[in-house]
Homo-oligomer: A and B are copies of this chain.
Amino acid sequence: MTRVDQGAVPMAEVWRGGLLESTHLGHAVICDARGIVQAWGNPAAVVFPRSSCKMIQALPLVESGAAAAVGLTDAHLALSCASHQGAHLHVEMAGRWLADLGMTEADLRCGAHEPADREERDRLIRAGDAPCQLHNNCSGKHSGFLTATRHLKAGPEYVEIDHPLQKAIRAATEEVTGETISGWGIDGCSAPNFAMSLEGLARSMAAFATAREGHGVRESAMHRLAHAMARYPELVAGEGRACTELMRAMGGKVAIKTGAEAVFVAILPEQGLGIALKVLDGNSRASEAAIAALLVKLGVLDAAHPDAQKRLNPIQKNWRGLVTGELRVAPGFV
C-alpha cells in the first residue's frame, strides 16, 4: 500500500513581498472509463476521500429504491451529497425531509457543530440557541442514510461499520473504484470512510461521468446523483463556497465535491472524465486552486471567471484591505 507522502509534487504556492512564503504538495489523477489519462504525483497514493465520496455513499439510497419509495427529488439527492454550511436553506430542508419520514433531528448520528454560514451562526448566538444536528454539514447525507436505513428495515445505528447500509456502501465503493478498500476510518460525522488509491477515486468519478440513464440500476443511480449535484450547486455547499461557485461558473455541466483534509473530485459527463486530487497537508486553499486549474485545463471552467480567479490566484488582502500576497498554482502543475 502506497503512503500518501510518497511522490507528492508542488501544487500551489503562497507568495508575499515577492518571496515564496508557503508551498503545498499533492497528487492528482484524471481518469476516463479505461483508466488514467494523466496524473501528477503518485496515483497509487492511498487517501481517505472524506466527504468527496458522498455521491458513492448515496448509491444505496437510490439503488435500493428507498429514494423512489419516499419520492425524493433531485434537490434531496443533491443535499444527500452535500457538505453544506448549515444555512437556513439547508437546515430547513433537512428538517422537513426528516419530518416527512416521521423522524426527528434526534434520529441523526452526525453530531452538532456551529454552522459555517455566518447569518445562521449569528442568529443562533443572538437567540441563545445551540446548533443542532441539522446544522452539521453532513445532515443531508445522514438524512439519506436514515431514508435508506428505514427502507432496508435496519437498526437505528446506521453509522456502525457492520450496519447493512454501511456494508452496502462498502460494496458499492469497491465496485465503482474497481479495487478492494485499503482500510477504513471514522469520519467527522461518525460514518465509516473507506480508504482507496487516488486512482481508484478518480476511476469512480469517471464511472459517474460515463453512467447512462436507463442502463441498469447502478448507471441510472450514478447518472441521477451526478446531475442532481450539478443542478443544485447551492445545496451541495453554500454561498461563497468553492463547490457552489465553481459548479455555477461551469453552468451546471460538471459536478465537483470537496472533502476534508484537502481532497477534491470532479465528474465531467460531456468529457467522460473523472478527477481526484489530494493535497498532502490537508489545506483546502491548495485543493481549491488545484481543482480549478484542472477544470480550466480540461476546458470546462473559464479561467477569467471571477469565481475561478478566486481559487486559481486568490489575492490576499489584510484587515485594512491592503494587498499582502497571493496564492498561485505551482509552475510545474497542470
Contact = CB atoms under 8 A, between A and B. Distances in A.
B19 A186 contact: no
Contacts of A25: 25, 281
Contacts of A281: 22-25, 280-281, 283, 286
Given A17-B195, A185-B325, A322-B186, A283 B283 contact: yes
Nearest to A4: B20
12 contacts: A16-B193, A17-B193, A18-B185, A19-B183, A19-B195, A22-B261, A22-B282, A111-B319, A112-B319, A122-B125, A189-B318, A280-B281
A10 B10 CA distance: 15
A158 B109 CA distance: 53
Interface in A141-181: none
A113 interface: yes
Interface string A180-198: 0011111111100101000
Q: How many copies does the complex hold?
A: 2
A262 B281 CA distance: 12
A122 B114 CA distance: 12
Interface in A1-29: 1, 3-5, 10, 13-14, 16-25
A324 B186 contact: yes
Contact of A186 (B47, B195, B318): B318
B4 A319 contact: no
A190 B19 contact: no
Interface of A: 1, 3-5, 10, 13-14, 16-25, 46-48, 109-113, 122, 125-126, 136, 182-190, 193, 195, 261-262, 280-283, 286, 318-325
Contacts of A109: 320
A184 B17 CA distance: 6
A261 B109 CA distance: 35
A21 B5 contact: no
When A and B form their complex, which 3 residue pairs have the shortest distance between CB atoms, in order from nearest? A111-B319, A17-B185, A16-B185
B136 A319 contact: yes
A324 B5 CA distance: 20
Contacts of A182: 19
A27 to B, nearest CB: 12
A324 B187 contact: yes
Contacts of A186: 16-17, 318, 322-324
